[in-house]
């Protein structure tokens, strides 16, 4: 086949266990029906935990990372709350997103049985806000910062020897976009192993602008609830290792990508519906096959309404009580911007692997279109029969993405 | 890299792929270019050996104006201008709008410094005046994807839409990812834009006390699947044959040329690695387009401008004379860069 992107190397690390591969389809078509790439390792750093296990246990226990913001002064802002990663060395330190990213990548690599030498492995990073917090600190004269580190390449090279590294800035769906492109690399046979990662730290500019735009001053996040007040930002990093051959904790079956091309910030129900259906079609499944949705559920007025309506429409053929379970975790993690899609993906992987689903904390009285959805409001829910999960992430500019994750064979 | 697996189109491969070729076997071809720089009106102008008058800023007459333009940051305006030129050049845009379904066109933007002015202005206002000091209109501009979203909205491009902020190699990386999106069939066409704005914020952040010359401008190329080129009955100008990102320039060039393909046009990185120090393994090349000599530091715009220039060279047999029908663009590889990237283009 033809392909312009040169494969990183022909000396990829061997599969740790080639004897029991997960079902894969090496056919060089797009991630169509039957394709399933192994998710061989995961890593997470969020306000509720420092690795995948800690985060997932905390979410199942309904623990929240909510607190008063410490990274910068909020006395002249209306909003005061956020979900910050706890071991922040103090206020105003540059390169925190980079540090968390490296921790998540290291965990995912270790979990997948890779060494920390990633010199032959593409590393794709999705982010909403890059190292813009470091830029802010430099501009305010509070730290020195080299613009070379605005993207994550130099740190990934120093820490992991990685050279085929790519920082994608794509609003709040950035990391699912990155996941899609990683799948495309496998599809085009240009890599056998890809690290997909995401990192975001709260910037004062984004926090302040949301404070300006949101009518209310939320002190908590209430996804899909009638009393939701808006979103609160959170710090986060996530990573996973995607491989051609197993074993894996779960498999990636498809990622659908679409752009509304309607508005720079507002969501569009039609665009979201198109994206979800594209993800199903690419995975060769119908709405009936999905039994878990990791919704984005930011707790904003318009986004939750649009997401709920789109979910209700896409899963309407499943009938009353026939649709998938829906969970949304941002009441516990906050909105981790470009990281949120990959965080949702790792949660889906853990739910499929363990049969447990985190509760949708903060949801008491669902908004109209959400009333037909089956939320996990009590939790953690034990659902060992789960086979197929859908992960949603929607970003500014109508950058919509949805991933389909399947249980490992 | 002794046993490098290379799966690309060998130079000289006949253009296009047979009808009925399944997804994943398409070739990405360049069907349009657009350049918005002081001193350059189109891609061919980039081939001039003398420095362009690219100091200073693009004039307002070349940028979109009117109500829709008012809330846009400078990088977005520069990108919109290059987008219109490239889409029109590719025959995808006319007075009535986009000529193909919007779902078939993706958007890939490369910019490192694009929204730094907004971010810094907002954080300064916040620290001085709190929430009351900032405007809601800045919200979209605080997110680094604003350029690509705004372009998609303006022209109705509904395919995959993403932004590379990947340092010195970012523009070539954008071309590489756009080619992949075409090759895997994710989209039929991709508008690739490289853009950087010059303003006081980025000049101070990039240079500290020392004045730096930064590019103010944009470039765009349209990549399209060979099947679509054939179906639309338009000629393509060039083919994206290879893309790679490696630890250093020598390795990247070696992989992109498959260890010795002849290069007709060499487009070296800007910065420390100059044309006269062509990396080992490049071999003889026919012609040079050294944007490091003719343009200020172009950062994320560089790779796209290089590919636009390479396309103009490849599409003009009069320029090529007897040189090999290949152009190799490279970026990064300097002391502070994390890697080097290279794109090999061939004639269509």
Q: Which of A358, A322, A344 is nearest to A391 (CA)?
A: A344
- The domain boundary residue, chosen from A243, A272, A288: A243
- Does B224 touch chain A if contact means CB atoms closer than 8 Å? no
Contact criterion met (CB < 8 Å) for B143 and A128: yes
Q: Check whether residue B225 and residue B254 sit in a common domain.
A: no
Q: Check whether residue A267 and residue A181 sit in a common domain.
A: no
Q: Which domain holds residue A269?
A: 250-407
Which residues of chain B neighbour A275 with C-beta distances below 8 Å?
none
Helix (H) or strand (E) holding A172: none
Which residues of chain B neighbour A184 with C-beta distances below 8 Å?
180-181, 184, 186
pLDDT tens digit sequence for A192-223: 999 999 999 999 999 999 999 999 999 999 99
Minimal-distance CA residue of chain A relative to B10: A2
Q: Check whether residue B202 and residue B312 sit in a common domain.
A: no
Number of Cβ within a 10 Å radius of residue B335: 7
Q: Check whether residue A122 and residue A187 sit in a common domain.
A: yes
Q: Check whether residue B218 and residue B294 sit in a common domain.
A: no
- Whether B23 maps to a domain, the answer reads no
Cβ-nearest to A265 among B28, B116, B140: B140
- Does A338 touch chain B if contact means CB atoms closer than 8 Å? no
Q: Check whether residue A186 and residue A285 sit in a common domain.
A: no
CA atoms within 13 A on the CB side of B43: 29
CA atoms within 13 A on the CB side of A263: 12
- Whether A133 maps to a domain, the answer reads yes
- Whether A22 maps to a domain, the answer reads no
ipTM field: 0.92
Domain count for chain A: 2
Concatenating the DSSP letter of every residue in B262-315 gives -EEEEEPPSSSS-GGGPPTT---EEEE--HHHHSSB-GGGHHHHHHHHHHHHHT
d(CA B171, CA B303): 4
- The domain boundary residue, chosen from A243, A277, A309: A243
The domain that contains A303 carries what CATH number? 3.40.47.10
Q: Phi and psi (nearest 5°) for B179?
A: -60, -40
- The domain boundary residue, chosen from A243, A275, A303: A243
Cβ contacts of residue B238 below 8 Å, gap of 6+? Answer: B29, B30, B310, B311, B314, B315, B327, B345, B346, B347, B348
Which residues of chain B neighbour A191 with C-beta distances below 8 Å?
none
In the numeric block, which tokens belong to residue A201? Answer: 């730290």
- pLDDT the model gives residue B344: 97
Determine contact, residues A334/A47, Cβ cutoff 8 Å. Answer: yes
The domain that contains B93 carries what CATH number? 3.40.47.10
- Does A19 touch chain B if contact means CB atoms closer than 8 Å? no
- Whether A173 maps to a domain, the answer reads yes
- Whether A15 maps to a domain, the answer reads no
| Shortest alpha-carbon distance between residue A348 and chain B (Å) | 23
Q: Check whether residue A265 and residue A181 sit in a common domain.
A: no
Q: Check whether residue A219 and residue A284 sit in a common domain.
A: no
- Whether A28 maps to a domain, the answer reads no
- The domain boundary residue, chosen from B207, B232, B257: B232
- Does A230 touch chain B if contact means CB atoms closer than 8 Å? no
pLDDT tens digit sequence for A159-193: 999 999 999 998 899 999 999 999 999 999 999 99
Q: Check whether residue A185 and residue A284 sit in a common domain.
A: no
Q: Check whether residue B207 and residue B81 sit in a common domain.
A: yes
Mutate one of B160, B175, B214, B346 to test the A interface: name it (highest A CB count within 10 A): B160
- Does B12 touch chain A if contact means CB atoms closer than 8 Å? no
- Does B137 touch chain A if contact means CB atoms closer than 8 Å? no
Q: Check whether residue B268 and residue B185 sit in a common domain.
A: no
| Shortest alpha-carbon distance between residue A342 and chain B (Å) | 16
In the numeric block, which tokens belong to residue B311? Answer: 């396309």
Domain count for chain B: 2
Cβ contacts of residue B145 below 8 Å, gap of 6+? Answer: A128, A169, A170, A171, A174, A395, A396, A397, A399, B109, B161, B162, B163
Strands (DSSP E) contained in A142-183 are 165-169
- pLDDT the model gives residue B245: 98
- Whether A7 maps to a domain, the answer reads no
Residue B270 buriedness (CB in 10 A; 0-12 / 13-18 / 19+): buried
Q: Check whether residue B343 and residue B219 sit in a common domain.
A: no
Q: Check whether residue B40 and residue B147 sit in a common domain.
A: yes
Which residues of chain B neighbour A180 with C-beta distances below 8 Å?
160, 186
Contact criterion met (CB < 8 Å) for A139 and B166: no
- The domain boundary residue, chosen from B232, B267, B285: B232
Contact criterion met (CB < 8 Å) for B112 and A7: no
Q: Check whether residue B298 and residue B158 sit in a common domain.
A: no
- Does A34 touch chain B if contact means CB atoms closer than 8 Å? no
Determine contact, residues A255/A179, Cβ cutoff 8 Å. Answer: yes
- The domain boundary residue, chosen from B189, B215, B232: B232
Q: Check whether residue B221 and residue B251 sit in a common domain.
A: no
Q: Which of A32, A31, A174, A164 is nearest to A97 (CA)?
A: A174
- Does A396 touch chain B if contact means CB atoms closer than 8 Å? yes
Determine contact, residues A333/A84, Cβ cutoff 8 Å. Answer: no
Helix (H) or strand (E) holding B33: strand B28-36
Q: Check whether residue B189 and residue B337 sit in a common domain.
A: no
Q: Which domain holds residue B270?
A: 238-347
Q: Check whether residue B218 and residue B252 sit in a common domain.
A: no
In the numeric block, which tokens belong to residue A292? Answer: 């878990």
- Whether A84 maps to a domain, the answer reads yes
d(CA B117, CA A375): 42
Contact criterion met (CB < 8 Å) for A261 and B337: no
| A258 SS3 class | strand
- Does B140 touch chain A if contact means CB atoms closer than 8 Å? yes
Q: Check whether residue B242 and residue B220 sit in a common domain.
A: no
Determine contact, residues B283/B326, Cβ cutoff 8 Å. Answer: no
Determine contact, residues B164/B109, Cβ cutoff 8 Å. Answer: yes
Q: Which segments of chain B have a pLDDT < 70?
A: 1-25, 53-55, 272-277
- Whether B20 maps to a domain, the answer reads no
- Does A281 touch chain B if contact means CB atoms closer than 8 Å? no
Q: Which segments of chain A have a pLDDT < 70?
A: 1-34, 87-91, 379-380
| Shortest alpha-carbon distance between residue A148 and chain B (Å) | 7
- Whether B17 maps to a domain, the answer reads no
Concatenating the DSSP letter of every residue in A263-307 gives -SS---HHHHHHHHHHHHHHHT--GGG--EEE------HHHHHHH
Find residues 318-337 of chain B whose CB sits inside 8 Å of chain A.
336-337
Contact criterion met (CB < 8 Å) for A188 and B180: yes
In the numeric block, which tokens belong to residue A221? Answer: 């996040």
Which residues of chain B neighbour A128 with C-beta distances below 8 Å?
143-145
């Amino acid at each position: 086949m033809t392909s312009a992107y040169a494969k990183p190397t022909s000396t990829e690390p061997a599969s740790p266990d080639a004897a029991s591969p997960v079902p894969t389809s090496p056919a060089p078509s797009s991630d169509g029906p039957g394709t399933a790439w192994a998710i061989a390792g995961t890593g997470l750093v969020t306000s509720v935990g420092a690795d995948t296990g800690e985060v997932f246990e905390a979410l199942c226990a309904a623990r929240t990372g909510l607190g008063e913001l410490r990274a910068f002064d909020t006395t002249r802002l209306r909003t005061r709350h956020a979900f910050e990663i706890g071991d922040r060395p103090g206020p105003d330190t540059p390169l925190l997103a980079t540090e968390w990213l490296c921790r998540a990548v290291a965990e995912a690599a270790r979990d997948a049985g890779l060494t920390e030498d990633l010199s032959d492995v593409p590393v794709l990073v999705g982010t909403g806000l890059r190292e813009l917090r470091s830029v802010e600190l430099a501009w305010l004269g509070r730290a020195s910062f080299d613009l070379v580190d605005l993207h994550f390449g130099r740190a990934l090279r120093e820490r992991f020897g990685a050279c085929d590294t790519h920082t994608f800035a794509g609003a709040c769906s950035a990391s699912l976009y990155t996941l899609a492109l990683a799948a495309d690399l496998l599809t085009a046979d240009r890599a056998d192993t890809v690290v997909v990662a995401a990192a975001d730290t709260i910037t004062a500019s984004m926090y302040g602008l949301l404070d300006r735009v949101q009518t209310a001053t939320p002190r908590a996040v209430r996804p899909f609830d009638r009393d939701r007040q808006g979103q609160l930002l959170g710090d986060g990093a996530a990573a996973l290792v995607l491989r051609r051959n197993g074993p894996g904790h779960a498999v990636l079956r498809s990622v659908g990508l679409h752009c509304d091309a309607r508005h720079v910030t507002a969501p569009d129900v039609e665009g979201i519906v198109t994206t979800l259906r594209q993800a199903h079609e690419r995975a060769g499944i119908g709405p009936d096959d999905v039994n878990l949705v990791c919704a984005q559920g930011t707790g904003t007025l318009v986004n939750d309404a649009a997401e709920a309506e789109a979910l209700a429409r896409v899963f309407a053929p499943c009938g009353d009580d026939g649709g998938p379970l829906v969970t949304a975790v941002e009441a516990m993690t906050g909105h981790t911007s470009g990281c949120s899609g990959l965080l949702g993906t790792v949660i889906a992987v853990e739910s499929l692997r363990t049969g447990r689903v985190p509760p949708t904390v903060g949801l008491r009285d669902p908004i109209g279109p959400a009333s037909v959805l089956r939320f996990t409001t009590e939790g953690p829910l034990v659902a060992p029969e789960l086979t197929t999960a859908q992960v949603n992430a929607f970003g500014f500019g109508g950058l919509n993405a949805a991933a389909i994750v399947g249980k490992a064979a | 890299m002794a046993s490098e697996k290379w799966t690309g189109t060998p130079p000289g491969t006949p253009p296009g792929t047979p009808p009925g070729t399944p997804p994943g076997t398409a070739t990405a071809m360049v069907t349009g270019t657009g350049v918005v720089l002081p001193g350059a009106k189109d891609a061919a102008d980039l081939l001039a050996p003398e420095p362009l008058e690219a100091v200073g800023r693009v004039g307002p007459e070349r940028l979109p104006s009117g109500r829709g333009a008012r809330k846009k940051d400078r990088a977005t305006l520069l990108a919109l201008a290059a987008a219109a030129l490239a889409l029109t050049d590719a025959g995808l845009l006319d007075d009535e709008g986009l000529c193909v379904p919007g779902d078939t066109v993706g958007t890939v933007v490369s910019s490192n410094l694009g929204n730094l002015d907004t971010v810094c202005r907002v954080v300064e206002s916040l620290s001085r005046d709190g929430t009351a000091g900032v405007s809601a209109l800045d919200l979209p501009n605080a997110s680094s994807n604003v350029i690509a979203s705004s372009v998609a909205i303006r022209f109705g491009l509904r395919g995959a839409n993403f932004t590379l902020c990947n340092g010195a190699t970012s523009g070539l990386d954008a071309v590489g990812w756009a080619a992949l999106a075409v090759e895997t069939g994710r989209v039929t066409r991709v508008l690739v834009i490289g853009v950087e704005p010059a303003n006081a914020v980025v000049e101070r952040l990039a240079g500290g006390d020392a004045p730096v010359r930064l590019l103010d401008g944009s470039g765009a190329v349209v990549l399209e699947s060979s099947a679509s080129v054939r179906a639309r009955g338009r000629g393509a100008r060039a083919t994206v044959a290879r893309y790679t990102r490696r630890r250093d320039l020598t390795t990247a060039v070696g992989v992109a040329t498959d260890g010795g393909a002849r290069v007709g046009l060499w487009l070296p990185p800007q910065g420390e690695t100059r044309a006269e120090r062509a990396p080992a393994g490049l071999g003889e090349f026919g012609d040079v387009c050294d944007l490091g000599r003719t343009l200020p530091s172009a950062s994320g715009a560089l790779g796209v401008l290089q590919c636009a220039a390479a396309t103009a060279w490849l599409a003009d047999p009069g320029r090529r004379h007897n040189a090999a029908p290949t152009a190799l663009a490279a970026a990064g590889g300097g002391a502070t860069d994390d890697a080097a990237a290279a794109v090999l283009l061939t004639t269509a």
